[in-house]
Amino acid sequence: MQPTMIKRAVAQDAERLTTLVQESGAYEGKYASITSGYRVTPDYIAQHRVFVAVDTTERLLGFYALLLEPPELDLAFVADDAQGRGVGRLLMEHMIGQAKEAGLADVRVVSHPPAEEFYRRLGAERVGMIAPSPPKVAWERPELRFVTA
């Protein structure tokens, strides 16, 4: 496996981040509505702390977006063919470092239900459940927190 580098996303990454979101196998079937038509825009990248994980050939392996106000992990995706190789863990460790650097005491995560266990393995604690908000989200979602202080 090639080394993974994490770096700040730039406006030119918007299209490939959008593609990664829309092609994610985790959002097929009953979960497809949440990513249908979703776009990561250059403005979004400019406004938030968005970081990409790439290999030495610049192939996109994953990304995350950290919102500072209020502190929340807004997006986190790993390419289907890169899952299980530690990319998600690297991204979350980096995100926690960014949160600490920004002086955040904690970071909220509204998790995709199948991803809850991943976040919990990395130290997030469940603090509640978010009710469905049809028609886009017809299921409950776990609310978790990473304590960064």
CATH number for 29:
3.40.630.30
Residue 145 lies in a domain: no
The boundaries of the domain holding residue 89 are 5-107
- Strands of 141-147's sheet in order across: 5-8, 49-54, 60-68, 71-78, 106-110, 141-147, 125-130
Please give the average per-residue pLDDT across 115-125, as a whole number: 97
Is the pLDDT score of 1 beyond 70?
Answer: no
Looking at residue 25, its pLDDT comes to: 92
Count of domains forming the chain: 1
Residue 133 lies in a domain: no
CA-based torsion, 9, 91, 148, 116: positive or negative: positive
Residue 14 lies in a domain: yes
User: Which residue has tokens 């909220």?
Assistant: 108
Token code pair at residue 96 = 């926690």
Burial class (CB in 10 A: 0-12, 13-18, 19+), 126: middle
Average pLDDT, the chain: 95
**Predicted TM-score of the model (pTM):** 0.95
